[in-house]
Structure 1
Amino acid sequence: MARINIDQMRDFLKVYFIAGSNNSSNPISDVLQQAIKGGITIFQYREKGSNALTGEEKIALGRELKEICMAANIPFIVNDDVELALALDADGIHIGQGDGNASEIRHKIGDKILGISAHSLEEAQRALAVGADYLGVGPVFPTTTKDDTEEVCGPQFIAQLRSEGVEAPIVAIGGITKENAPEVVSGRADGLAIISAISKAADPADAAKQLQLIWE
């Protein structure tokens, strides 16, 4: 994938589904296919936490999920693991503040998408200085999906970043549901990062569709 522009990135972030094998009681490949039918715009493979796959099993699942994304023409992003992202020839990688030197990672991945988590104005500015294509900001609401989260910042933090001059694409993450998503959108986020609201939904396609409708 060639280096994308800011407007393309904003469009990709709209409904950003994040999941791994342990985020659903159903096969995550099936959940992803249903979510794509519902209208997700980008997918991040996050195979972490209890009962997560490792080694060849992790790679094999990544290949399967990437093929599903390729068939649907949506970007396939890998969480944290640069070597896995390169091995899978992913469209990009998303890293947190403690996941290595961002400048070195940008050099390793070339023109692939680079997303970086930011929890303060200073972190956001540093991420953009090394070439982040978008910022992941959160948790905007309390979440039980991740056990290593920062303090809840609230959707107003995104509005604050905007007021401080941060115009880069921003995806909000953490505890987002169709009920509270409008509040996040009004804070000038470009996208909604979703785990449980889709992965644990009885109907992932409908869950994704309801989130997509918020933008309309």
Structure 2
Amino acid sequence: MATKTHFPLRGLYFITPAVPEGMDAPTAHLGHAGAALRGGASLIQFRDKTLVGDEREAIARALVALAHAHDARCIINDDTELAARVQADGVHLGRDDPDPVAARHRLGPDAVIGVSCYNELERARAAQAAGASYVAFGTMFPSPTKPEAAHAGPDLIRQAHSKLALPICAIGGITPENAGEAVAAGADLVAVIQGVSAAPDPEAAARRISALFD
């Protein structure tokens, strides 16, 4: 496993978006991630539901190297085995993925293990007890990526902040314009996809969000 784990989980958390039509996958993932990292992202997640095989692994390896070149972390969505193979910093798990205990066993004590908790505080408590590194609540705001997702607004972040002892991530519909609401509610991380990738100037959008944590 990689070892860039000795600083807090805090700041802008960029998740790579779906590859735009007409753009090759490496260019899309690395280009978007590079802009986010130059803008100050402290954590990136490789998320792609369509790629398979060697190309997926090659992009994952390149993203890990790119993140580490910017003194940031890179984790993999859903795929613990891919995270292990490319020496990523960890994995993010959803409802249908392996539990955090199994991921921790596979990836080691220093791995970043994130867990999606939607709008469910009890799920977050269980994830904390299972050794998760952070929990993610969302969606915070209406999200173009997941328009049908359960709603979890800043009030849930406030409630979780008072009841949990691990970093809390806000996700869903976050933009440079509304990210401050999540940070003010106590979010340690704000996870962003299109709020950065679809911005006219992605690096500038990332910088605006990162500055909220200064």
Matches within 5 A, 1:50-61: 52-61=50-59
Partner residue in 1 for 2:14 = 17
**Structure 1 SS opposite 2:19:** helix
Q: Does the aligned pair in 2 maintain the 1:124–1:135 contact within 8 Å? A: yes
CA distance in 1, matches of 2:46, 2:131: 21
**Structure 2 SS opposite 1:67:** helix
Partner residue in 2 for 1:158 = 157
Partner residue in 2 for 1:38 = 39
Q: Percent identity?
A: 36
Partner residue in 1 for 2:70 = 72
Q: Using the TM superposition, give the Cα deviation of residue 97 of structure 1 relative to its aligned residue in structure 2, in angstroms.
A: 2.1
Distance 1:27 1:162, change over 3 A: closer
Amino acid at match of 1:33: G
Q: Using the TM superposition, give the Cα deviation of residue 102 of structure 1 relative to its aligned residue in structure 2, in angstroms.
A: 2.3
Q: Does the aligned pair in 2 maintain the 1:23–1:200 contact within 8 Å? A: no
Distance 1:69 1:2, change over 3 A: closer
Structure of higher RCO (CA pairs closer than 8 Å, 6+ residues apart): 1
Amino acid at match of 1:77: I
Q: Does the aligned pair in 2 maintain the 1:106–1:130 contact within 8 Å? A: no
- 1:120 has 2:120 as partner: yes
CA distance in 2, matches of 1:158, 1:203: 28
CA distance in 2, matches of 1:171, 1:94: 12
Q: Does the aligned pair in 1 maintain the 2:154–2:185 contact within 8 Å? A: yes
Partner residue in 1 for 2:136 = 136
Runs of 4+ in 1 over 6 A off after TM superposition: none
CA distance in 2, matches of 1:3, 1:70: 7
Moved more, 17-26 or 204-213: 17-26
CA distance in 2, matches of 1:63, 1:3: 15
Q: Using the TM superposition, give the Cα deviation of residue 145 of structure 1 relative to its aligned residue in structure 2, in angstroms.
A: 1.3
Amino acid at match of 1:28: H
TM-score normalised by structure 2 residue count? 0.88
Tell me the matched-pair count.
Answer: 207
Q: Using the TM superposition, give the Cα deviation of residue 28 of structure 1 relative to its aligned residue in structure 2, in angstroms.
A: 2.3
Amino acid at match of 2:94: G
CA distance in 2, matches of 1:84, 1:96: 16
RMSD: 2.0
Q: Using the TM superposition, give the Cα deviation of residue 2 of structure 1 relative to its aligned residue in structure 2, in angstroms.
A: 4.7
Cα deviation, 1:79-135, whole Å, max 9, x if unaligned, reads 111111111111111101221222212111112111111132211111011111111
Amino acid at match of 1:160: Q
Distance 1:168 1:207, change over 3 A: same
